[in-house]
Amino acid sequence: MKKVDLDQTFGKQEVDPSERKKLIRRVFSKVAPRYDLMNDAMSFGIHRLWKSKLAKLANPQAKQVIIDLAGGTGDIAIKMSGENRSVFIADPSIEMMQAGQQRHALPCIATTGEQLSFADNSADTITIAFGVRNMTQMTQALAEMYRVLKPGGRILCLEFSKPQKWLKPFYDWHSYHIIPRLGAWVARQPEAYTYLIESIRRFPDQKEMQGIMQDTGFVDVTYQNVSFGIACIHIGTKPAE
């Protein structure tokens, strides 16, 4: 299996990690007020189906502690909330979390994926949608998620991936020509969405991501493609003691 040095791919070879962190914070600060609207336009609303599937696979139960990391406006956390369970939105962007607080009263915690503000072995489930690729040091972030999960706890990661060959030319054209224009029109931030598209293109494919999660220590690592591989839900379990 091909190995990918993510800390180099997303770090020092192209942008210094501290500068990349500033760039990412600036991007999400700018797009926060229109982020959900932009996602609807960019994916024709399909992202909502992907997120619903993620929440269903998370299978939230009573008395569980669930963290939606990079949870932003809380659209996934809302789907997992319910009586007799604790659901937290964790995100480094205060602007993103503030944009969603008109729709929910879930607790929001400002924290980075690389240094999670949660105790060891404290969460039953961690979900993250379209956020892993924005971590400055993704391998460190995965290790932090592993630390915070209880033995037997699961991570569910929804992320863009590698579409099937027949779809790739159409998907590439849409990414290069349509999405930045939508960013200019709806979110009024074309440069922000140019960055987001480039981050998608540099992200590991399905098999590579599976190997990275296994290297972190997760077991029973599987993935499920959605929309012919445009996105993928990666699932891993922290070994039970």
CA separation, residue 144 to residues 71, 85, 115, 210 (Å): 16, 22, 7, 17
* pLDDT of 151 above 70: yes
- Lookup: tokens for 127: 């979900």
* pLDDT of 124 above 90: yes
* pLDDT of 60 above 80: yes
Per-residue pLDDT averaged across 230-241, rounded? 95
What share of the chain in percent tops pLDDT 70?
A: 81
pTM across the whole model: 0.86
* pLDDT of 218 above 60: yes
* Residues 64-120 pLDDT 10s: 999 999 999 999 999 999 999 999 999 998 988 998 988 899 999 999 999 999 999
What is residue 19's predicted lDDT score, i.e. its pLDDT? 66
Residue 102: burial class (beta carbons within 10 Å; 0-12, 13-18, 19+): exposed
Q: Are 93 and 113 in contact (CB under 8 A)?
A: no
What is residue 172's predicted lDDT score, i.e. its pLDDT? 87
Q: How do the domains of the chain map onto residue ranges? A: 6-163+203-237
Q: Which has the closest alpha carbon to 35: 87, 85, 98?
A: 98
Rounded-to-integer distance, Cα 175 and Cα 200, Å: 10
Among the residues of the chain, which ranges form H helices?
6-7, 17-31, 35-43, 46-58, 75-80, 94-100, 138-148, 168-173, 179-182, 190-201, 206-216
Q: Tell me the pLDDT of the chain averaged across its residues.
A: 85
The CATH class for the domain spanning 6-163+203-237 reads: alpha beta
